[in-house]
Structure 1
Amino acid sequence: MDCHARYHSRRVLRRAVGQACPREISAPRCTHGRRSRNQSLRFGMGLLQRRTTTHRGQCGSSRNSVERSLQMSVLRVITYSTLLAVLAGNAQVASAVEILRWERLPLAIPLRINQERIVFVDQNVRVGLPRSLTEKLRVQSTGGAIYLFAKEAIEPTRLQLQNAKTGEIILVDIAATEASADQTPLEPVKIVEGETSSARYGGAATARSAKATAKSTESTSRSSDENDEPEEVVKRETPVPVVLTRYAAQMLYAPLRTVEPVDGIAQVKVERNLDLATLLPTLPVKSTPLGAWRLDDFWVTAVKLQNQTAQRITLDPRELMGEFVTAAFQHPYLGSRGDASDTTTLYLVTRGHGLTQAAVFSATQADPRAAQGAKHER
């Protein structure tokens, strides 16, 4: 009985203890089985927080990578732009050319001692160099380029660049000074024509054109003159003989810097020892060729006339012998021999050939007025 009572009291005590402290008794049991709702909620919240944190980390890392890639792209663009700018600057410095326009005003071209400067003219020119610069300046000309090398200081001096084809002169003022250590070399100079040429003088309204026609098999029996269409010769705004005469007069009497350039005019060779005794057979004058120029199909020859008598002679183009398109005298008369007016120039324009084929050499010279000269006196 005592044992039974003892066992029963223990069971009651256990029940009482279990009802009084159910959490303390059941808590250890839950740790081995299912978790409580709070613990499950805490576990879910922790997982959500961990996932959110992970997502934030991933977003942050991706944002950082994007920013880094953008920064690298910007750096690459800046680097490439800077490199291109540097290369372009170097190329620009290497190929820089100073452009000067010739508009009848002297062009200033500074030089530096012991530095060569190139002047591009794109024309076959002759350089007129003063004697004072012979030992100070080295000048070389080839292929339309002039190479100037100053050996010592040069005061402002004027050079003349003459076109060998047209005779036009370009005035250039040079001066050489000492170059400092930090100065860059002078760039080359290119001289181009300005827009001062007169359109009316020697200019053509349109260009000359030749129409080439195809020959058919049916017209083989015709002559070439009948088959070929005539060439269209375009009229100039000023007659060619007038242009040539004026140009020759300017070349002989006007300052070369004022000679008006004409496209197409070329100087031709003339025989200095050509016998022109029959040019004016009735006048006591001596005729000597001076020069000749050509434009299109026309030639102009300048002939010097000198009085051989002490009488004044009136010049008349009707007394000329030869085939000439036009003839003009620089002065209307010749003074007595020994005077400043005893010499003048005659301009003869021929077509298709020069003066050699136009003059008459078979006639004998006659001078019936050499002794009297009454008709030519005034």
Structure 2
Amino acid sequence: MKSVLFSAPLGLAFTLGAVSTSHAVEVMRWERLPLAVPLIVGQERVVFVERNVRVGVPAKLGDRLRVQSAAGTVYLRANEPIEPTRLQLQDATTGELILLDIVAEASKSGQSTLEPIRIAEQHASQQAAGVGSSSNGQQPALPAPQTPLPVVLTRYAAQNLYAPLRTVERLPGVRRVNLPPDLSLDLLLPSLPVYAKALSAWRLDDYWVTAIRLTNQATRTVNLDPRLLQGDFATATFQHHNLGPKGSALDTTVLYLSTRGHGIAQSLLPTISPVDATLNLTHTSELTAPMEAPDEE
């Protein structure tokens, strides 16, 4: 009986100790600044990202670092000391980057095991801090009006084309869509001497946005006016308001067209094939044949 009573408290104490240790997690907030992640050689460190990510590892590391990623969790294990090196975690859905600066050192005597890391989003930290509530008795501020989806999509497309990837704002639900390989934009701005080529397109809910490169084909400056666009579009935004003369550094810009319910291909004016009017006429020989004189009574 004594052995049974004695072993039960030990088992309980061991279980409680294991639970308290397993719940020790270091929280890091991603605010577009690289996060420092120290490693110990031979120990695996877990990083909870809570989104599907791809891990970019410099080729120089080779087998010195083992990296595994599954279900929003990244596992890092250094096999030997590693100098400060930057890893990139890229969201597989939005393309947003999270930067980790790792450094691996040999284990020291008496050094404790490094705890797992949980990466918290900036907006999540603001919610945890109680944004919208007031501790001084004042009424909370009213939420800002929701930004229209075409505006959000246009801003996202512009950031993907012009801004560094690490600064691209996360946009849940957005996805890149394929463009028709035979898409012709000849009738998009028929009154202007510009060449238009579709670059990329994204979709969010019921809206599409297409980025189109415009290049001036004239030796004069061309002013861009959305009223000259031919088609059915929700919004149109030019990166610049005019194009410089052909061959100059300012002869190219990007146009962002948003459409609703379908992509840009269904929003363009239909192409009319040239008609050969002679196909509907009588044969030439019949036209030139002499007319017979009417019979005389």
User: How high is the TM-score relative to the length of structure 2?
Assistant: 0.74
Are 2:90 and 1:162 equivalent residues in the alignment? Answer: yes
1:266 to 175, 181, 206: 175
Are 2:252 and 1:252 equivalent residues in the alignment? Answer: no
2:103 to 161, 175, 193: 175
Q: 1:216-235 alignment to 2 at 5 Å? A: none
Q: Is the 8 A contact 1:248 1:300 kept in 2?
A: yes
C-alpha distance in 1 between matches for 2:75 and 2:182: 37
Q: How far off its partner does 1:164 sit?
A: 2.1
Q: How far off its partner does 1:236 sit?
A: 6.1
Q: How far off its partner does 1:279 sit?
A: 1.8
Higher relative contact order by CA 8 Å / sep ≥ 6: 1 or 2? Answer: 2
Stretches of structure 1 that go unaligned for 5 or more consecutive residues are 1-75, 200-234, 366-378
C-alpha distance in 1 between matches for 2:270 and 2:38: 55
Aligned residue number for residue 72 of structure 2: 144
Q: Secondary structure at the match of 2:257?
A: strand
Structure 1 residues 273, 111: CA separation in 2 closer, same or farther (over 3 Å shift)?
A: farther
Q: How far off its partner does 1:290 sit?
A: 2.0
Q: How far off its partner does 1:329 sit?
A: 0.4
Q: Is the 8 A contact 1:330 1:346 kept in 2?
A: yes
Q: Is the 8 A contact 1:276 1:361 kept in 2?
A: no
Rg (Cα) greater in structure: 1
Seq. identity, %: 54
Q: How far off its partner does 1:323 sit?
A: 0.9
Q: Is the 8 A contact 1:304 1:343 kept in 2?
A: yes
Are 2:224 and 1:315 equivalent residues in the alignment? Answer: yes
Aligned residue number for residue 281 of structure 2: none
C-alpha distance in 2 between matches for 1:185 and 1:125: 25
1:99 to 4, 16, 27: 27
Structure 1 residues 272, 77: CA separation in 2 closer, same or farther (over 3 Å shift)?
A: farther
1:292 to 189, 201, 208: 201
Structure 1 residues 150, 290: CA separation in 2 closer, same or farther (over 3 Å shift)?
A: farther
Q: 1:24-39 alignment to 2 at 5 Å? A: none
Structure 1 residues 135, 241: CA separation in 2 closer, same or farther (over 3 Å shift)?
A: same
Aligned residue number for residue 306 of structure 1: 215
Q: Which amino acid aligns with 2:150?
A: P
Q: Which amino acid aligns with 1:358?
A: S
| RMSD (CA atoms) | 3.3
The C-alpha deviation readout for 1:260-314, integer Å capped at 9, x for no partner, is: 3233333333346532222222333222222222222111111111223433221
Higher helix share: 1
Aligned residue number for residue 195 of structure 1: 123
Structure 1 residues 263, 356: CA separation in 2 closer, same or farther (over 3 Å shift)?
A: same
Q: Is the 8 A contact 2:68 2:75 kept in 1?
A: yes
C-alpha distance in 1 between matches for 2:177 and 2:268: 17
Aligned residue number for residue 255 of structure 2: 346
1:133 to 61, 69, 74: 61
The C-alpha deviation readout for 1:234-279, integer Å capped at 9, x for no partner, is: x961112111111211221122222232333333333465322222
Higher strand share: 2
Q: Which amino acid aligns with 1:286?
A: Y
Q: How far off its partner does 1:363 sit?
A: 4.6
Stretches of structure 2 that go unaligned for 5 or more consecutive residues are 128-143, 275-297
After TM superposition, which residue ranges in structure 1, 4 or more long, deviate above 4 angstroms? Answer: 76-83, 196-199
The C-alpha deviation readout for 1:332-356, integer Å capped at 9, x for no partner, is: 1122233222221110000001112
Q: 1:5-24 alignment to 2 at 5 Å? A: none
1:328 to 210, 216, 237: 237
Q: How far off its partner does 1:94 sit?
A: 4.2
Deviates more, 1:171-180 or 1:96-105: 96-105
Aligned residue number for residue 81 of structure 2: 153
Q: How far off its partner does 1:122 sit?
A: 2.0
Structure 1 residues 320, 179: CA separation in 2 closer, same or farther (over 3 Å shift)?
A: same
Question: What is the aligned length?
Answer: 258
The C-alpha deviation readout for 1:20-67, integer Å capped at 9, x for no partner, is: xxxxxxxxxxxxxxxxxxxxxxxxxxxxxxxxxxxxxxxxxxxxxxxx
Q: Is the 8 A contact 2:230 2:268 kept in 1?
A: yes
C-alpha distance in 2 between matches for 1:192 and 1:122: 9
Q: Secondary structure at the match of 2:253?
A: strand
User: How high is the TM-score relative to the length of structure 1?
Assistant: 0.59
